Amino acid sequence: MIIYKELGRTKEKIPAIGLGTYGLGGYSFTDKSSDKEAIELIRFAVEHGMNFIDTAEMYGAGHSEELVGEAIKGLREKVFIATKVSPSHFRYDDVIRSCDASLKRLKTSYIDLYQLHWPNPSVPIQETMKAMEFLAKDGKIRYIGVSNFSVEETIEAQKVLSKYELVSNQVEYSVLEREIEKELLGYCEKAKISVIAYSPLARGAIFRGKTSNVLAKIAEKHDATIAQVALAWLIRNPIVFAIPKTSKKERVLEFIGSYEINLDLKDLALIDSLV
């Protein structure tokens, strides 16, 4: 059974596990060699309840967004699309231009969640957020989020928004990368800002070495897999969403199986022993 969670304070619920797309359509450059497979994969994910897709204007130099747009043809209303504007485009006019270009590539008239990909200290956050609020008012984006923002940067971003709330912060979080637990996670819980955990499988590192052995032991107990344990661990926190990436259909079904796993205190202690 799919778990839906409220995004920020929006009253809108989206799946706790969405699909990451960095690498579908290329990394820093466009790669069209696996377009057919990538489109099928994204559509398969949407049809099986992973209808929250994370992409960015920089992924595959725009090609990831094009693949998402192609994959969700005829399904737009069923999909929650999160994309990102790059820090080099944080000037007011550039934000508007980037958004229009993303809309074109995604073949849609609106983006559900528009995120600032990284902080850019050389552009005043007021200017960037003014453009984000204009886009929201104009109906081109529904919600405003950030990514890779510290507590201080998150507070500043919230402060300069006048009519809209900041709904999410997308940051690295996994059984191996727990830096956000020091400060940011607690702040987001208090402020009701959703945390979207990126690289939730530690870019594949959880499948290797000691981590893999420890997670396999827990997985065996739950009749589950290593990936499912890692994702279940993340989404047990009510404010955390996870966006694993895969290029394989069978792994989409594996990700969805994570919803069934309830980790106990012994499992959590074992996972704590990894860091």
Ligand X SMILES: NC(=O)c1ccc[n+]([C@@H]2O[C@H](COP(=O)([O-])OP(=O)(O)OC[C@H]3O[C@@H](n4cnc5c(N)ncnc54)[C@H](OP(=O)(O)O)[C@@H]3O)[C@@H](O)[C@H]2O)c1
Which two three-digit tokens encode residue 228? Answer: 């499912």
* Distinct helix (H) and strand (E) counts, the chain: 10, 10
Of the pair 96, 252, the CB lying nearest ligand X is at: 252
Member of 81, 146, 201, 240 binding ligand X (CB under 6 A): 201
Q: Which stretch binds ligand X (CB under 6 A): 15-23, 90-98, 120-128, 160-168?
A: 15-23
Member of 93, 204, 208, 253 binding ligand X (CB under 6 A): 204
As a whole number of angstroms, the distance between CA 255 and CA 245 comes to: 10
CB of 199 to ligand X, least distance (A): 4
Residue 92, class by beta-carbon neighbours within 10 Å (0-12 exposed, 13-18 middle, 19+ buried)?
middle
218 binds ligand X (CB under 6 A): no
Provide the residue type at 46 as one letter.
V
As a whole number of angstroms, the distance between CA 185 and CA 274 comes to: 19
Member of 7, 8, 16, 22 binding ligand X (CB under 6 A): 22
Member of 52, 80, 143, 198 binding ligand X (CB under 6 A): 198
As a whole number of angstroms, the distance between CA 141 and CA 144 comes to: 8
248 binds ligand X (CB under 6 A): yes
- In a 13 Å sphere around the CA of 170, the CA atoms on its Cβ side amount to 25
Give the CA-trace dihedral at 260, 266, 270, 272, to 10 degrees.
90
Which two three-digit tokens encode residue 154? Answer: 């998150």
CB of 132 to ligand X, least distance (A): 16
CB of 37 to ligand X, least distance (A): 10
Q: Give catalytic residue positions.
A: 59
Residues 28-57 that bind ligand X (CB under 6 A): 54
Residues 136-175 that bind ligand X (CB under 6 A): 147-148, 170
Assess contact for 82 and 53: CB atoms under 8 A.
yes
Binding string, residues 91-120; x marks residues near ligand X by CB under 6 A: --------------------------x---
Residue ranges in contact with ligand X by CB under 6 A: 20-22, 54, 117, 147-148, 170, 198-204, 207, 227, 243-248, 251, 254
